[in-house]
Chain A
Amino acid sequence: MLEILFIFVLAVMLGFEIITKVPPTLHTPLMSGSNAISGVTLVGAVIAAGSGEGFMSGVLAFIAVAMATTNVVGGFLVTDRMLEKFKKKD
């Protein structure tokens, strides 16, 4: 557990450092794109789907996988669709 805490603290600090100045244009895409990354919980859902026993945990795992996949697939696609519009005019 302490090893994980170690990673967590460093990752939080890295997260604070990555973003310093963002033009307002990119606020929405950045929010949407990082939101897609938070769908990483899909990895957890995949593991949970295999570890539980019984009907109830199957249902819970199904909901978790479906929600996380919606977040991941939808999040990345919608961000891409927004950013596609930011082409410079030649």
Chain B
Amino acid sequence: MNSDLQILAYLVASVCFVIGIKRLSLVRTARSGNRISALGMLIAVVATIAVTESLSWPVLIAGMLVGGAAGAVLSVRVPFTAMPELVAAFNGFGGGASAFVALTEIGGSSALSENLAGASYSIAVVASILIGTLTLTGSGIAYLKLRGSKMVHPLKGSARHGFNATLVLVTLACGFWLANSTGASAVIAAVLLVTGAAAAGFFLVLPIGGADMPVVVSLLNSYSGLAASATGFVLGNQLLVVAGALVGASGLILTRIMCKAMNRSLTNVLIGGIGDDAGSGDRSGYTGVKETSAEEVAMLFDAADSVIFVPGYGLAVAQAQHLVRELGEKLEKRGVKVRYAIHPVAGRMPGHMNVLLAEADVPYDQLFELDQINSDFQQTDLVMVIGANDVVNPVANTDPTSPIAGMPVLEVWNARTVIVVKRSLSPGYAGIKNPLFEAENAVMFFADAKEGLQKVISEID
């Protein structure tokens, strides 16, 4: 069924994807890499439409119009702060699409009843439905959690692991049944499989803490690649197999890189509980917190020769990135050394802060990663932490029982003075107390990042 032309087009597309992914891992070439991938996709879709004999135009046009419009509008309209959840949503759609393609195979005339292509075909159909549906609902939960929804798994500890394991086993059993059933019972099995996989995606992601969602999205991205690959096996389509495998494997590598940045193992992340299970005792009151005002903050800046800004999610929520840049520029004009310390998991997604500050035209060479800047805090006059919490929590280094123990953190407390701009003393994503706020050399400036910075800037003028 694949003509030579189609195979050649698929080969070109596959090469585009490989080059595209490769280029996406370097800042200099990333944008062109993404465009090369997009070109590959265009070639693949056009070639498929050109050579497929029986096309259902109404379905095709309607689907592409709806999907194209939704994708375009969402990607252009959604503010930069909401990108992480948008990526999660798109990812869910990709997985869902693979599952639905496989489902049409059951609904269509080439039902499993015929068992035409044998066992391997059945396995591919089941895998595609299972992984695709799981990706869809799992990404849905990730989406909601990234939006700040605090859902938790109804069960705790070993009861939860038992429940989740049973759910997965039952779902696999439905898959096994589907692979071996014919006619009407195949439809029932398919419905059960979809339900089980949907529930599995839901309950497996549910206990994982909000701060770990980026890792989950990355893993689900890998899954959506595998789902596409499985669909490729179903349809005997080389491109789907290759592209899906590329995404599946590279997604897994990226997931590992991200876990490493947090100094956690993937299993540790997936077992979950961080942020949701954290004991409420940890949220006990603070003592000796020193509050400050915009005027005082301006005076601290007056006296500083070197300043490091530490942005966090609060900066993103308040859309204060432009004001930080403005403040930074003002300080630079006075000859102050201005730098930004970026924690790998600051915000709701790795690199979130880089994207945001880049949007505000903060010079790239002022951004420093954790390893590069951590030893410099000691020689720094003033650190301003803006809407960050867990990534500057000294507990990670001192308390081995803490949920964030071992996570590398920015050692801001080594600086001479630390100003923390934060709306309240409420805990961050990990739900734990931050002793930094009580430190001798730390002052709290309680304000929304945008309003607070505005006041500081007007005081400095």
A binding-site residues for B, Cβ under 8 Å: 1, 4, 7-8, 11-16, 18-54, 56-58, 60-89
Cβ A70 vs Cβ B90 within 8 A: yes
Bound form: Cα–Cα A4–B54 in Å = 23
Hey, what's the 0/1 contact readout for B14-48 against A, CB within 8 Å counting as 1?
10011011101111001101110110010011001
Complex contact A19–B254 (CB within 8 A)? yes
Tell me if A36 and B107 are in contact (CB < 8 A): no
Set of chain B residues within 8 Å of A49, measured between Cβ atoms: 55-56, 59-60, 63, 104
User: Do B76 and A81 touch across chains, with their CB atoms under 8 A apart?
Assistant: yes
For residue B344, CB closer than 8 A to chain A, the reply is yes
**Residue count of chain B within 8 Å CB distance of chain A:** 119
- Does B250 lie within 8 Å of A34, measured CB to CB? yes
- Chain B residues contacting A86 (CB-CB under 8 Å) are 27, 30-31, 354-355, 358, 364
Residues of A within 8 A of B243 (CB): 37-38, 40
Task: Give every chain A residue within 8 A of B74 (Cβ-Cβ).
Answer: 70, 74, 78
In contact, A85 and B107 (Cβ under 8 angstroms)? no
- CB of B428 to closest CB in A, whole Å: 19
A52-B108 in contact given A44-B240, A78-B90 (Cβ < 8 Å): yes
Whether A43 and B246, one on each chain, are in contact in the complex, defined by CB atoms closer than 8 angstroms, is: no
User: Which of A38, A43, A76, A80 has the most chain B CB within a 10 Å cutoff?
Assistant: A38
Most chain A Cβ neighbours within 10 Å, of B20, B37, B59, B68: B59
B254 x A28 contact (CB < 8 A): no
Question: Does B364 lie within 8 Å of A78, measured CB to CB?
Answer: no
Query: Are A47 and B246 in contact, CB atoms less than 8 angstroms apart?
Result: no
| Secondary structure call for the A interface | helix
Please tell me if the beta carbons of B48 and A38 are within 8 angstroms of each other in the complex. Answer: no
The reply to whether A37 and B20 form a contact with Cβ atoms under 8 Å apart is yes
Selected A-B contacts with CB under 8 Å, 11 pairs:
A12-B249, A15-B246, A24-B350, A31-B217, A37-B21, A42-B41, A44-B237, A52-B108, A58-B56, A65-B62, A70-B70
Cα of A50 to Cα of B359 in the assembled complex, Å: 43
B56 pairs with A61, CB closer than 8 A: yes
- Given A7-B242, A74-B86: A81 and B67 interface contact (C-beta under 8 Å): no
1/0 contact trace for B73-91 toward A, CB 8 Å?
A: 0111010000110110011
Contact A48 B104 (CB under 8 A): yes
Structural contact, B236 and A4, CB atoms closer than 8 A: yes
Partner of A73, one of B67, B121, B217, B252: B67
Contacts of B242 in A (CB 8 A): 7-8, 11
Quick check: which of B226-234, B292-300, B312-320 contacts chain A, the rest being far away?
B226-234
A25-B351, A35-B87 known; A19 vs B71 contact (CB < 8 Å):
no
Distance between A13 CB and nearest chain B CB, rounded to angstroms? 7
B249 and A50 form a contact (CB under 8 A): no
